[in-house]
Amino acid sequence: MILQLGPLKVHSYGFMLALAFLVGIYLAGRAARRVGETQDHVTDLSFWIIVAAVIGSRLFHVLVFWSELQPPRLLSAFKIWEGGLVYYGGFIGAVTASVLFCRLKKIDFWQMADIITPSIALGLMFGRIGCTLVGCCYGKACPADYPLAIVFPPETIGVAGVPLYPTQLLEAAGCLAIALFLWFYLQYHRRFRGQLLLVFIVLYSALRFTLEFWRDDPRGFADLFTFAAAAGQTPAIGGLRGFLLWSGTIHEISSGIYGFYLSESQLVSLVMTLAVVPLWIWKSRRDRRLGVSVAPAPVPDQTPKRAPHSKGKAKRK
């Protein structure tokens, strides 16, 4: 909690989400004006995204951790205040809502996606800072002399008093780098509409897939050898002996038999990255064939026009 004014409590995670929303709308508004889109569309879509992201992130968590929910499970599924939000579920929900919104308003989804994508990346940065403040999404235990180790206090919702890898801060730094790349470079050099969204998916998926090896909070996992799914922590022992065993990617099912485990976020990262390939080919070729422009909207001439000079001298009366 950051601040308390009487009965009003300002929690750190909620504060960071609100900050992400406000900054995101501001940046998306600037990007919209640059390409000739209206600010109203950006503002309206933002509220659609918030609602859909919350529903999607909670639904993803409930599907993965259904067996872990307290009975009655159907009632527990609605207890969002007890935690349990998955980013990829929120992302899928936000994209679905954006497609529906753009169809209703008859505007180009891919253009709008490029407008809001840098804000999504920056919003993730604020969100992971919020995770750091409350202690969720924590990393595995690390050596005490590790220079970037983070130790949470007793009131954390995660693991307290143990040096951990700073997975939240590392993801926040990675998301900031992605946002800066999209905002300062790619939006001025894109070759087709939707390129910012597709590049973001690839970059974030790679970041998330890598950091999952150092995460230690309860998540869902799937064994790619047996296609079995499990919720919660990975088993204590892992596989490909060196890195894979240490990271918990695979584990010993029985004596001498190993399963290859990936978290649900790693599986989604792989699927989304593979999905980008045909989308990239189709969208780039389609825009080139149709001659779709990605240039900024022309700035109207604001120079005041002078009255034309009358030719010759005025006749005297």
pLDDT of residue 245: 45
Rounded Cα distance, 241 and 257, in Å: 12
pLDDT of residue 309: 57
When pLDDT is averaged across residues 269-276 and rounded to a whole number, the result is 94
Residue 304 pLDDT more than 90?
no
pLDDT of residue 18: 85
pLDDT of residue 119: 94
At residue 14 the predicted structure's pLDDT band, cuts being 50, 70 and 90, is confident
Per DSSP, helices labelled H in the chain are: 12-34, 39-64, 73-76, 87-105, 109-134, 167-181, 187-189, 195-211, 243-247, 264-290
Q: Is 259 helix (H, G, I), strand (E, B) or coil?
A: strand
**224: buried, middle or exposed (CB in 10 Å: 19+, 13-18, 0-12)?**
middle
Least confident among 24-28, 154-158, 268-272: 154-158
Q: How many CB atoms lie within 10 A of CB 11?
A: 15
Residue 195 pLDDT more than 60?
yes
Residue 90 pLDDT more than 50?
yes
Q: What is the pLDDT of residues 56-82, one digit of tens each?
A: 877 876 776 655 655 665 555 555 545
Rounded Cα distance, 215 and 264, in Å: 12
Residue 173 pLDDT more than 90?
yes
Q: What is the pLDDT of residues 245-258, one digit of tens each?
A: 444 444 544 444 44
User: Using a CB cutoff of 8 Å and minimum separation of 24, what contacts does 244-253 make?
Assistant: 247/213, 247/214, 248/213, 249/213, 253/223, 253/226
When pLDDT is averaged across residues 156-165 and rounded to a whole number, the result is 90
Q: What is the pLDDT of residues 206-260, one digit of tens each?
A: 999 999 989 988 776 666 555 455 555 544 433 334 444 444 444 544 444 445 6
Rounded Cα distance, 86 and 80, in Å: 12
Residue 185 pLDDT more than 50?
yes
Distances (CA, A) of 167 to 127, 139, 143, 177, 268: 13, 5, 15, 15, 19
Pairing of strands 257-263, 219-223: antiparallel
pLDDT of residue 262: 80
Residue 146 pLDDT more than 80?
yes
Residue 298 pLDDT more than 90?
no
**pTM of the shown model:** 0.81
